């Protein structure tokens, strides 16, 4: 039982990283029905940018700078990759454009920081804490807390600020929001900026417990996309639940079966959800009248 609880604790930390990235997918899909398939590269660039700043600013002063960097990066992706495709009503243009930008960002990172994985210094002690026999790294606790606080901050922004309410209105009905005087194009840009910002923040959260490099975001983003589908692309609660399910399933499978099969449960769950409930566990089916 102690080993089981240890695996669950580790899975929760991993799952919250998936949820934080999937939350970014949910933000852009809600406003524009598009996704940034370079989300993993936003996470990677946030981690590498933070690694560059840490020796000069320290970890805590580096965080707001990484948030600003991620915010600006999201605006660039929307302006170069998404807006032209949406403007000409291309159904697949934004997919290829965001994938292309992701590849460009990865190549840029390899030329600036190299191909080797780098060690990101931890801001917290690396000695594990013990709770009822379960050993947890302080940084794992920070990952869970940081991801939850980040999603809560975005939710409060949407509920309390004028721009946040514009985001909610656009996600509910983009045509009606435009008729009410909301600049929906700026709202979509804002959603992409916040999405990339959350990914960059997730990057500097996970970097101290893993290696940092140009390839670190690819697998995380793919699994986060699976989490978004499982939980529901329009549900914030869904991405949290989906992330926890996938994270715990991976750690349990890796220990009790084989590390070579740890990715299988998530894929099986994804296929099952798509077959039974395509909108996700917490998604809402919408009937369109034509």
**Is 66 part of a structural domain of the chain?**
yes
Question: Whose CA is closest to 41, among 218, 219, 228, 227?
Answer: 218
**Is 263 part of a structural domain of the chain?**
no
**Is 250 part of a structural domain of the chain?**
no
* Chain mean position to CA 160: 23
**Is 282 part of a structural domain of the chain?**
no
Place 233 in a pLDDT band, splitting at 50, 70 and 90: confident
Place 62 in a pLDDT band, splitting at 50, 70 and 90: very high
Query: Rounded CA gap, 281 and 239, in Å?
Result: 9
**Is 46 part of a structural domain of the chain?**
yes
How much is the pTM?
A: 0.89
Q: Is 58 left (phi over 0), alpha (psi -120 to 50) or beta?
A: left
Please answer whether residues 182 and 31 qualify as being in contact, where contact means their C-beta atoms are separated by less than 8 angstroms.
no
Give the Cα-Cα-Cα angle 93, 99, 104 (nearest 5 degrees): 120
β-pairing verdict for 211-212 and 134-136: unpaired
Output the average pLDDT for the chain. Answer: 87
The mean pLDDT value for 205-232 works out to: 88
45 or 231: whose pLDDT is higher? 45
Q: In the predicted model, is pLDDT for residue 197 greater than 90?
A: yes
CA distances from 133 to 3, 5, 127, 253 (A): 9, 9, 14, 21
Sequence-ordered strand ranges (E) for the chain: 118-119, 129-131, 134-136, 211-212
Query: Rounded CA gap, 229 and 252, in Å?
Result: 21
Domain count, the chain: 1
Domain range for 116: 1-217
The mean pLDDT value for 52-67 works out to: 94
**Is 79 part of a structural domain of the chain?**
yes
Query: Rounded CA gap, 161 and 158, in Å?
Result: 6
DSSP state of 128: P
Mapped onto helix, strand or coil, the DSSP state of residue 262 is: coil
**Is 211 part of a structural domain of the chain?**
yes
246 or 285: whose pLDDT is higher? 246
Q: What pLDDT digit, counting tens, does each position of 107-164 carry?
A: 999 999 998 889 999 898 888 888 877 888 888 899 889 988 998 898 888 888 888 8
**Is 231 part of a structural domain of the chain?**
no
Question: Whose CA is closest to 199, among 16, 21, 2?
Answer: 21
């Amino acid at each position: 039982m102690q080993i089981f609880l240890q695996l669950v604790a580790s899975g929760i930390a991993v799952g919250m990283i998936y949820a934080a990235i999937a939350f970014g997918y949910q933000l852009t899909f809600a406003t524009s029905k598009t996704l940034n398939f370079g989300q993993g590269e936003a996470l990677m660039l946030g981690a590498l940018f933070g690694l560059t700043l840490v020796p000069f600013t320290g970890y805590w002063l580096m965080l707001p700078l990484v948030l600003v960097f991620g915010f600006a990066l999201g605006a660039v992706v929307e302006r170069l990759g998404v807006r032209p495709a949406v403007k000409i009503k291309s159904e697949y243009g934004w997919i290829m454009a965001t994938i292309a930008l992701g590849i460009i960002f990865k190549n840029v990172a390899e030329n600036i920081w190299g191909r080797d994985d780098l060690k990101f210094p931890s801001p917290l002690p690396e000695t594990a804490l013990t709770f009822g026999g379960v050993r947890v790294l302080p940084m794992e606790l920070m990952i869970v807390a940081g991801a939850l606080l980040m999603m809560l901050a975005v939710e409060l922004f949407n509920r309390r600020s004028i721009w946040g309410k514009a985001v909610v209105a656009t996600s509910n009905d983009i045509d009606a929001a435009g008729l009410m005087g909301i600049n929906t194009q700026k709202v979509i840009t804002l959603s992409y900026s916040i999405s990339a910002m959350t990914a960059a923040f997730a990057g500097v959260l996970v970097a101290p417990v893993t290696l940092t490099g140009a390839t670190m975001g690819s697998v995380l983003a793919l699994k986060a996309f699976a989490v978004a589908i499982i939980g529901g692309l329009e549900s914030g609660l869904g991405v949290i639940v989906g992330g926890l399910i996938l994270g715990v399933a991976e750690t349990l499978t890796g220990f009790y079966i084989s590390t070579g099969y740890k990715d299988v449960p998530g894929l099986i769950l994804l296929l099952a959800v798509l077959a039974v409930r395509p909108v996700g566990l917490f998604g809402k089916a919408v009937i369109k009248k034509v």
